[in-house]
């Protein structure tokens, strides 16, 4: 079955090192919590808020051992007034036997505000 795993994190600064580090942490947590291996991943989409342009957060994916061939794409997030700033969002599409209810979505730092309903899952 193909499922989507969501993830989001925030950074404090528009700096390449921080953006890549926080994205890597989030991707690794998404894979670990859902028992996902690189060969299970169909694709990864990463969006960033307009205040983040110091780096492509997809660089983080290439730092993870075994993820060389995982397709990834970055894009800008919609600039909605009042939305969470300095936010990096991920949609990882994977092949898994988990049900939708079993999938663990990962929200780190200030991004926990995006889906408080999933924090006590």
Question: For the whole model, what pTM was predicted?
Answer: 0.95
CATH number at residue 106: 3.30.1330.40
Under the banding of pLDDT at 50, 70 and 90, the label for residue 61 is very high
Summary mean pLDDT of the chain: 95
**22-29 mean pLDDT:** 98
The DSSP letter of residue 23 is H
What does DSSP say about strands 106-107 and 2-10: parallel, antiparallel, or unpaired?
parallel
Query: Phi/psi of residue 49, each to 5°?
Result: -70, 155
> What pLDDT does 12 receive?
98
Q: DSSP string covering 65-93, please?
A: TT-TT--EEEEEPP--TTPPSSEEEEEEE
Hey, which residues are catalytic here? Answer: 6, 62, 74, 77, 89, 107, 115
Question: Per the structure, how many domains does the chain have?
Answer: 1
pLDDT at 119 over 80: no
pLDDT at 118 over 90: no
Which residues constitute the domain of residue 9? 2-118
């Amino acid at each position: 079955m193909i499922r989507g795993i969501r993830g989001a994190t925030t950074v404090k600064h528009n700096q390449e090192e921080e953006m890549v580090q926080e994205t890597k942490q989030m991707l690794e947590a998404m894979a670990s919590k859902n028992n996902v291996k690189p060969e299970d991943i169909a694709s990864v989409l990463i969006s960033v808020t307009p205040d983040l342009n110091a780096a492509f957060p997809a660089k983080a994916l290439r730092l993870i051992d075994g993820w060389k061939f995982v397709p990834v794409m970055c894009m800008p997030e919609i600039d909605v007034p009042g939305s969470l700033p300095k936010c990096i969002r991920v949609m990882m599409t994977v092949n898994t036997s988990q049900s939708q209810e079993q999938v663990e979505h990962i929200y780190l730092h200030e991004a926990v505000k995006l889906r408080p309903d999933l924090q006590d899952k």
